[in-house]
Structure 1
């Protein structure tokens, strides 16, 4: 039973890591396409560097805000379900 739980934990960790990599790759591609336009030099120009940092920060702030709002809506939905169950006399 413990081995099964450990395997599940490892599977969850792998899934979480894969999801992280997908998000990281999306962010990298999005910011690269928006900010990098000059391929004549190996180095980033200061404008490109600033653009990529701003892009990343904006994406992360937006993602954090969306997650926060989703959590808020989930809490409200759960409260509404509990209130409905109590109103109808069905304890949960």
Structure 2
């Protein structure tokens, strides 16, 4: 099974390493890149999805302490979709 991220343009970001920490970092990096591409600050993204800017920072750092719901909300707001295949 290979996990991946796909953004609204169809670009797929494979998550090859099965360790949670590395996957969280890859997801966080993808969310940060998409947020910056969208021209949003961490505070603006947080307000958009009902998260604090601190939570958005944690997600982007890939610390793994954020809930799956928070990560999914941030990703979906930016047009990213987390999928397992």
- Normalising by the residue count of structure 1, what TM-score does the alignment of the two structures yield? 0.30
Structure richer in strand, relative to its length: 2
Structure with greater Cα Rg? 1
Structure richer in helix, relative to its length: 1
